[in-house]
Amino acid sequence: MEIYHVKLGPCTKCGDYKKPCRCFLENENARLISQVAELKSAIIEFLDIAYNSEGISGWHMNGDILMWNQVEQIEEFERVTKE
């Protein structure tokens, strides 16, 4: 990944003298927004599984099921998907 243009003078793409230049920052921003959308979608799919099952079988070595209400991150996942 290119962090900034090494060549002295303005960026050949956007004409910006700052490093990192404007075009790099715009591309990086778009990439991060896309990643957030993908992560949010994955969390929603995970919550769908959690809402339609009792818990995680095999988590405890004694054979008990780990119930979803015992998973602290569920509340955080729900909060993130509502933002």
pLDDT tops 60 at residue 48: yes
pLDDT tops 70 at residue 26: yes
Q: What is the structure's pLDDT at 60?
A: 83
Q: What is the structure's pLDDT at 46?
A: 93
Q: Are 11 and 21 in contact (CB under 8 A)?
A: yes
Which ranges of 1-83 does DSSP label H, i.e. alpha helix? 22-51, 73-82
Q: Alpha-carbon distance 74 to 16, whole Å?
A: 44
pLDDT tops 60 at residue 1: no
Q: What is the structure's pLDDT at 16?
A: 76
